[in-house]
Each structure stands twice: as C-alpha cells, then as structure tokens.
Structure 1
Amino acid sequence: MIRAVFAGAALVMLAACGGGEPAAPASNEMGVAENGEALNYQAAVLDLPPGQRDVVMIRAIRDAGIECQQVTGSEQIKGEGLVYRAKCGDGASHVVAIAADGNAQVISAGAAADR
C-alpha cells in the first residue's frame, strides 16, 4: 500500500523537475533498491517533508477504507516504531503505524473510543 505511494511520490517529484528524459516505468520489484538491499520505508517516511508525509498518511487512511478528503497535518508520536497522528480536513484524527516493510496499520480515533 505505502509502497505504491512512494512510487507515485517519486514520479510526481520527477515530473515536477521538468525537462530531461521521460522517467522509465517503475519495476515490479519496488521493495528492493538498485543495489539489491531491501528498502526501509520507515526511514523514507522520516526523511519526507511534511506535505509529502501527509500524502503517505492520506493513502494509508484511504487504503484502510476510512473516509478522508485531506490530511491537514500529521505529527510523529514518540514511542516504539514509527507512529503518526494524522488529522483529516473534517477534524477526524487517525493513528498510522508504518512498518519497515511499508505496510501501515490505521486506527481511527472514533474506532478506538468504541472499543
């Protein structure tokens, strides 16, 4: 899920650069870097500027089947693993935990309160 977001974000960044040769199509081996080492998606998310990180958050939230039209901000929750609190435009908050392999788990604040 998140892997597709990173591939899409990379294509958007390349398109924004303009000029040059057209980008080669992405390979199906998105979890392996050119040097053959596995990618660490947590490190990649940590390196993103806030706007691009919010794109990762909205993709994770939507992929979880939760309605969210826009992520207006996200902040890292300190603790074990890589966990963010993302706020949607409608005021709803969601917790997004991102694993090193790029998989994300999303808990809606409303769903957690119902438990």
Structure 2
Amino acid sequence: MSWVYLIAAGLCEIFYAAAMPRTEGFTRLWPSLFCAAFIAASMYLLSLATRSIPVGTAYAVWVGIGAVGTAIYGVMFLGEDRSLPRMACFAMILMGIVGLKFLSLRGDAA
C-alpha cells in the first residue's frame, strides 16, 4: 500500500506544480487554495509512504514522479521544449524511478 501512497503523492505534486503559475505568486485566492490543498495532500501521502519505504527512496521517487509528470504537462499543454536531449534526461529520471521500485521488490531498498 505504501507504493500506492507514494504514487498518489507524486501525482498530487504534478497537480500543485501545474497550478502554481496560476496563483500569480499566491495572490489569487482560488488557484492558491487549489495549489495548497494538493501540496498538503502530497506531503500527507508522502509521510504515509515513508512508514515502510525508506525516506531516501520515497523522496527520490516522489520528486521524480513530480518532475517527469510536470515536464510532460509542460510539453503537452504549455508548449515547452521537447528536444531530444531534454526528453532523454527525463527518460533517465523515469528509469531511476522504475529501478528504485524494482530494487524495493527484491528487498534491497525496503
């Protein structure tokens, strides 16, 4: 169940990162409340995940999910750079996330 919490925490991170520009420096009420709710949810779910996943592994996976997911959002909806070198870097982050998950299945990281 901890990995479900961790993935959900990463998804919440994507939502708050995507919403952050709309807050205009947290000066707009509703986008700011939306962002704050997802920040809180992300932290809470991350804390649940660290009950049984080592904090270093959980944090790396959480940040990776957020980084790759937010980058995908930026490319798809904000017209951000989709150059091959940039996509290769994000693919390496994704490979690291998958690697950490597989190591935890073997018992090396859990």
TM-score, L = length of structure 1:
0.29
Query: Normalized per residue, which structure has more helix?
Result: 2
- Which structure ranks higher in relative contact order (CA pairs < 8 Å, sequence separation ≥ 6)? 2
Query: What TM-score do you get using the length of structure 2 for normalisation?
Result: 0.30
